[in-house]
Amino acid sequence: MQKEVQSGQTGNAAGFEAIGVAQAARAINSGDFTAESYAEALLERAREQSDIKAFITIDEEAVIAAARKVDKSRSVGASGPLLGVPLGVKDSYLTSGLRTTLGVSNLKDFVPAQDAEVVSAIKEAGAIVFGKNNLVEMSYGLTGDNNPYGQVQNPRAHNRVSGGSSSGSAAAVAAGIVPAAFGGDTVGSIRVPASLCGVVGFKPTTGRWPRNGVAPISHVLDTTGVFARTVEDCELIDQIVTNAPPALMGPEPGSLKGVRFAYAPKQYLDLVDAEVEARFRDIIRRLHDAGAEIVEIDLGEGFSALADTTTWNIFFHDTMHAIADFLEDNAIPTSFEEIYRDLKPGLKEAWQHHVLPSGSQWLSQDVYNVALANDRPEIQRRFKDAFATSGAEALLFPTTPCTAPEIGKENLFSIAGREVTYAALAKNTVRASGAGLPGISLPMGNASNHLPIGLEIDAPLGGDRRLLEIAPRVETLGISSL
């Protein structure tokens, strides 16, 4: 029986909440523990953590049935890279036989007949869909606030936002409910919650991962992606989703000799909390001590304004047609107009001004065409030239300029003494989105308020596999424990 997650009995999850994807798959393949025992432990964990609202739907009976089927298959020789591993799936992904709401009340009873392409890929590799993660309505927000299904709370501090829009996916991994969960990123919807919740969040090069069967905002900017506890797990899932070869063996863990990183303080440190900046600069020093070369770059006059304006303009302009086409193409029983009618007041007002062609901030087709033909290519050129001129393989910066704001205060809070809105959470992530670059957010320890700080590493277009080779070497420096 499918049901919304409810509080229930608690108990001991036997340490399963700390196991990663690759570790769990190896253990199930080798018979160290059964898929059923693992699934039961994670379901218990989900009940214990139900108050954070990380999931909209979990079909417990289906999860156990799938786990038993895995155990039966393994007993007669079956294996797989994700065999028996339960994974969370953002509720913007279609899932066959499992309720898919897109985060809106209009679809509270919708059960698709087909899977999104990414979901098909992980099922073929042996994974189990554990449940559907909560999200901001239609993936339109950065804080985790969902009117029909509840505010996602940050597992590190329940009075803090989780980030969004892939809020429940990040929270589910951070809370130890699942070892990995899928999300989507248009201007930062994977990297922002990864940073605020203290997990790894991987955004591939735009277009690298399949997007079929996932509710869109902008086909120019959207990408599917994943949250996990380690880069190793992101790399494994990237292999499976894209049929990529395994990453090359690199130098000894922690060695960064021969790797050159860039950082751009003028563009990425101009509005950052002092403690976040201090932690970032300490990481720069630690990377240098581990053998990396560090170079300072400048992406040029007006880069930030160009990247921000262009990316947000594309984001808003694409929304209406992208959603309407998705609903029609997938025979989803609602319409753009019905969804708009039932949106929460603040979001409805934003759509009224920015998304509807009648809105006061609607972007004309001519201006949109210029953004696609001139402005976005200029952002990409600036990044390409900066990488080429500096010789850097990756760009480093704080993922979010602050730790997670308090729930209820996210519409107006302070960063470095300046009042900002929640849009500032994507201040640093939006640039890579505009250019389509791959990026990964790693935890780089906690601030004095005990909340996580994220380090983002971006690579040139198409540099995903190299990024996934470099990032574990940064990870093994132990920066998350600082």
With a CB cutoff of 8 Å and minimum separation 6, the contacts of 66 are 39, 128, 129
Q: What are the start-end ranges of the H helices in 190-230?
A: 191-197
Tell me, yes or no, if 414 is annotated catalytic.
Answer: no
- Catalytic-labelled residue, pool 189, 195, 218, 390: 189
Does residue 401 contact residue 265 with C-beta atoms inside 8 Å?
no
Rounded-to-integer distance, Cα 442 and Cα 65, Å: 34
| φ, ψ dihedrals at 428, nearest 5° | -90, -25
- Catalytic-labelled residue, pool 50, 92, 139, 165: 165
Question: Is residue 271 exposed (0-12), middle (13-18) or buried (19+ Cβ within 10 Å)?
Answer: middle
Does residue 52 contact residue 146 with C-beta atoms inside 8 Å?
no
Closest CA to 152 of 132, 131, 166, 138: 166
| φ, ψ dihedrals at 261, nearest 5° | -110, 150
One-character DSSP codes across 233-267: HHHHHHHHHHTPPPPPP-SSTT--TT-EEEE-HHH
Does residue 110 contact residue 101 with C-beta atoms inside 8 Å?
yes
Tell me, yes or no, if 409 is annotated catalytic.
Answer: no
Tokens 């909440």 — which residue? 17
Q: For residue 3, list its beta bridge partners.
A: 58
CA distances from 331 to 89, 213, 324, 327 (A): 20, 11, 11, 6
* Token pair for 228: 């996990």
Tell me, yes or no, if 169 is annotated catalytic.
Answer: no
Rounded-to-integer distance, Cα 21 and Cα 30, Å: 14
* Token pair for 96: 């066959």
- Catalytic-labelled residue, pool 90, 123, 132, 203: 90
Half-sphere exposure of 393 (CA within 13 A, CB side): 16
| Residue 258 Ramachandran class (φ > 0 left, ψ -120 to 50 alpha, else beta) | left
- E strands, 257-390, in order: 260-263, 293-296
Does residue 211 contact residue 194 with C-beta atoms inside 8 Å?
no
| Neighbour tally for 328: CB within 10 Å | 11
Catalytic residues: 90, 165, 189
